[in-house]
Amino acid sequence: MSRDVTLPKVESKESYDPWWGEITACHGDSDCYWDAVNWPILDQSGWWDLFQHTHMTHWKAIRANSNQAVRDKHVLIMGPLGHCTIGNGTVNTLKYTVAEGTAFLVGAEMASALFKGDFNGTRRSTIGRVNLYVQGNFHQDSSVESGNYWTSLNDFPNPAPSKFFMNAEGILGTHTEATDAVMQYVYDPSVPEGATPMVGGNNLPLPNSGIDICGPAEQQTRTNRSDVITFDSEPLSEDTAIAGDLSAQLYVSSSAKDTDFYVTVEDLDPVTQKSILVRYGMARMRWRDNDVTSVLMEPDEVYQINIDLWASAYIFPKGHSVRVSVSSAAYPYYSLNSNSGEGLYADDEPVAATNSVHMSAQYPSSVSLPVVSLSDIPENPDFAPTLSLLV
């Protein structure tokens, strides 16, 4: 179905009804069809795949709800790319190309074994139930080596989240701001330069789409803008690994009835000042409570929002900083919000919004990162296709 047909239909259903329930039934913890899965499944995707979140939702659901006889026999493979065009905009082009090829070959072998009913044979014995490509040091011009290997685990990581708090003067720390603080910016969708661009990410570059880059792209052109605010941690004292789900918790206000808040987590090299995208996500305030229309914002009232940044496995190198940015657009990946409170296709006048991020013990804006020990994600040198497949 084309975009022109789909989006108006979705927009017209911004109040809950059975139609909306039918298309979202499998997006949460519903019974859906998970308990009817009676055969081991291979789930394969990539960190920069457009459908990464869908795959992860499916994986977690079949692990929890499928037939008990097969729950421990499902296999997940998460490569470095996915639908992200190989080599287009990624930093570690050669490494990622090789790793993506490896993922496809190992996946093909595992799928073949599952189809044959070979659930515990040679191929399965060399990999885990969960196989993740651990990304590392996206900075090509750095001498630091970290990550960029396969790890094989029993389950998808679910560590206790480590919170990094946004503080005044653009600091990302482990404690909340002692006194009330606010950082503001103006998002104006009425002018061309108001379309704060999306750079990289889980884009799907297609001809004439206006999207020509995907993956872990450099973010400096975004973070230098006046409508983007950034928070940087102190240089890391050691290699810091994350593996699992990322999220952001913001306390925000706006002069407008509706607006967006877009959050990125990046890897900042303090020497080159290049900052590479690790994960991201956004919240549209009129949908802040659920997938249907919320009550419009009151001017300058503070709202708490939780933003899903999806999953990743990445090692921040020693000496680098974790950077978090907040803005109100990522075009064209997300449609521009007019800030008027009207629908996507309403004939309305765009409104310039003064948007604020609040930081204090009362309003602890933060990001939650799934920090793990390096020993929790050891390299699996046996994650490779068999020689018989290569001849």
User: Which of 105, 125, 117 lies closest to 44 in space, CA to CA?
Assistant: 105
When pLDDT is averaged across residues 256-262 and rounded to a whole number, the result is 96
When pLDDT is averaged across residues 44-52 and rounded to a whole number, the result is 93
Of 360 and 142, the structure prediction assigns the larger pLDDT to 360
d(CA 7, CA 328): 21
What confidence tens digit (pLDDT) does each residue in 291-315 have? 667 789 999 899 999 999 999 999 9
Question: What is the per-residue pLDDT for 284?
Answer: 93
- The three-point CA angle 18-20-26 to 5° equals 100
Token code pair at residue 6: 């789909």
3-state secondary structure of 382: coil
When pLDDT is averaged across residues 65-81 and rounded to a whole number, the result is 94
d(CA 97, CA 82): 11
Residue 208: pLDDT band with limits 50, 70, 90: low
Q: Phi, psi (5° rounding) for residue 6?
A: -70, -50
DSSP for 108-176, written as a single string: HHHHHHHHTT-SSSHHHHTS-SEEEEEEE---TT-------EEEEESS---PPPEEEEEEGGGEEESS-
Residue 13: pLDDT band with limits 50, 70, 90: very low
Question: What is the per-residue pLDDT for 339?
Answer: 94
Question: What is the per-residue pLDDT for 14?
Answer: 47
User: Which of 242, 243, 278 lies closest to 263 in space, CA to CA?
Assistant: 278
Question: What is the per-residue pLDDT for 2?
Answer: 33
List 140's β-bridge partners, or say none.
none
Please say if the pLDDT value at position 39 is more than 80: yes
Entry pTM: 0.89
d(CA 176, CA 167): 7
Question: What is the per-residue pLDDT for 16?
Answer: 43
CB atoms within 10 A of CB 175: 11
Please say if the pLDDT value at position 187 is more than 70: yes
Question: What is the per-residue pLDDT for 292?
Answer: 67
Mean pLDDT: which of 128-137, 194-203, 214-223 is highest?
128-137
Residue 241: pLDDT band with limits 50, 70, 90: very high
Please say if the pLDDT value at position 5 is more than 50: no
DSSP state of 71: G
Q: Phi, psi (5° rounding) for residue 28?
A: -130, -155
In the chain, the domains with their CATH numbers are 18-157+375-390 (no CATH), 162-373 (2.60.120.260)
Residue 86: pLDDT band with limits 50, 70, 90: low
Three-state secondary structure readout of 162-225: EEEEEEHHHEEECCCCCCCEEEEEEECCCCHHHCCECCCECCCCCCCCCCCCCECCECHHHHCC
Residue 74, CB half-sphere, CA atoms under 13 Å: how many?
Answer: 26
**Cα 391 to the center of its chain, rounded Å:** 37
Are 266 and 367 in contact by the 8 Å Cβ rule? The answer is no
